[in-house]
Amino acid sequence: MTALLQLSGVSKTFRVGAAGRQTDLRAVRDVSLDVHPGETLAVVGESGCGKTTLGRVMLRLTPPSAGTLRFDGVDITNIDAKARRELARDMQIVFQDPYSALNPRMKVADIIAEPLVNLGMSRAQVRERVARVMETVRLPIAFADRYPHAFSGGQRQRIGIARALAVEPRLIVCDEAVSALDVSVQAQILTLLKQIRADTGVALVFISHNLGVVRFLAHRVAVMYLGSVVEVADSEALFTAPRHPYTAALLDAIPEPDLSMRGKRRVIEGDIPSPLDPPPGCAFHRRCPLAGDICRKEPPPLEAKAAGHEAACHFAETELP
């Protein structure tokens, strides 16, 4: 299948620090990923792993420092502001925090309508489209004249999703879109996103620090560590037979009610290293129970370990402890 969005060797580096003592922070390192039409690709990793920066690069909200991006076969690596605005018709974002993402001084209808007005649609078209997407996200049309403060977190996130859907995009990046919500509300929003994807065929990139929440939604999962993708696979394969020790530890960190598993979980020791001073060799070696001499010297390439299953680990064939 032809990729809708194609990233090849994408990196993003920031200059950080005080004037005269600046240094490079490599937030995203050499990421190659495809997003196919109508699929949900989850991007998962601990806080600071670069997944949000990767999402912003995907949307071209920030330019990559290296590599190329193609959307529907068209190179979008170096586009001007006008082309970026046109790209917003095809690619949208749903933010993490439904409390700060919505302008408190705008009514719901105006929040949803804003991107449509920017596209130059007529008032009648805008009204019709706003009503349609409010119905899609299960918000009563009577809410259209209210302000965001009148709503719960889950309802606000539905408004954010409606705004993203209004322009009928082909891809939506959901950046930690359920992280700020209660568990029961998370389930409602995940179910809604799954239904929207099925009904509209929109592709989703679902960014989350929580591997547990993506299984319900994702066709494929990419796991990031210190700016790099260390494993990518179909959801079922990744959850049942992870090839990377980091993925295995993330899976074990998912809470589950089976008390017999207590004490049998693989726990990641130590903190995630600073991206300003990444370890040599495999970036995960200081926390990895399988690390050997080669891991301290040579970075493992991301390579196929099975059909549709890639991992960056020198010992990915070794049975995980």
- Sole binder of ligand SF4 in the list 55, 64, 148, 300 (CB under 6 A): 300
Of 4 and 282, the one with the shorter C-beta distance to ligand SF4 is 282
Q: Is 151 in the site for ligand SF4 (CB under 6 A)?
A: no
Q: Is 115 in the site for ligand SF4 (CB under 6 A)?
A: no
Q: Is 291 in the site for ligand SF4 (CB under 6 A)?
A: yes
List, in sequence order, the alpha helices (H) in the chain.
51-58, 81-87, 108-118, 123-136, 153-165, 183-200, 211-214, 235-240, 245-252, 293-297
Q: Is 282 in the site for ligand SF4 (CB under 6 A)?
A: yes
| Choices 28-36, 80-88, 140-148, 290-298 (CB under 6 A): range interacting with ligand SF4 | 290-298
Q: Is 313 in the site for ligand SF4 (CB under 6 A)?
A: yes
Report the nearest approach of ligand SF4 to the CB of residue 285 (Å). 4
| Choices 65-73, 127-135, 143-151, 287-295 (CB under 6 A): range interacting with ligand SF4 | 287-295
| Choices 119-127, 201-209, 255-263, 313-321 (CB under 6 A): range interacting with ligand SF4 | 313-321
Cα–Cα distance for residue pair 41/35, rounded to 1 Å: 7
Report the nearest approach of ligand SF4 to the CB of residue 250 (Å). 12
Cα–Cα distance for residue pair 161/227, rounded to 1 Å: 27
User: How is residue 51 written in tokens?
Assistant: 């997944």
The secondary structure of 28-65 as a DSSP string is EEEEEEEE-TT-EEEEE--TTSSHHHHHHHHTTSS--S
CB 303 within 8 A of CB 311: yes
Cα–Cα distance for residue pair 59/172, rounded to 1 Å: 9
Q: Is 315 in the site for ligand SF4 (CB under 6 A)?
A: yes
Question: Strand order in 228-234's β-sheet?
Answer: 91-94, 171-175, 203-208, 40-44, 220-225, 228-234, 309-311, 303-306
Residues 6+ apart with CB under 8 A from 296: 279, 280, 281, 282, 285
CB 21 within 8 A of CB 244: no
Collapsed DSSP state (helix, strand, coil) of residue 260: helix
Of 132 and 296, the one with the shorter C-beta distance to ligand SF4 is 296
Which residues within the stretch 227-246 sit at the binding site for ligand SF4 (CB under 6 A)?
244-245
Of 93 and 312, the one with the shorter C-beta distance to ligand SF4 is 312
Calculate ∠ Cα 247-249-253, nearest 5°.
115
CB 192 within 8 A of CB 138: yes
- Sole binder of ligand SF4 in the list 144, 232, 284, 320 (CB under 6 A): 284
- Sole binder of ligand SF4 in the list 285, 309, 310, 320 (CB under 6 A): 285
Q: Is 29 in the site for ligand SF4 (CB under 6 A)?
A: no
Report the nearest approach of ligand SF4 to the CB of residue 313 (Å). 3
Of 142 and 304, the one with the shorter C-beta distance to ligand SF4 is 304
Report the nearest approach of ligand SF4 to the CB of residue 34 (Å). 23
Report the nearest approach of ligand SF4 to the CB of residue 288 (Å). 3
Write out the residues near ligand SF4 by the rule CB under 6 A.
244-245, 282, 284-285, 288, 290-291, 295, 300, 313-315
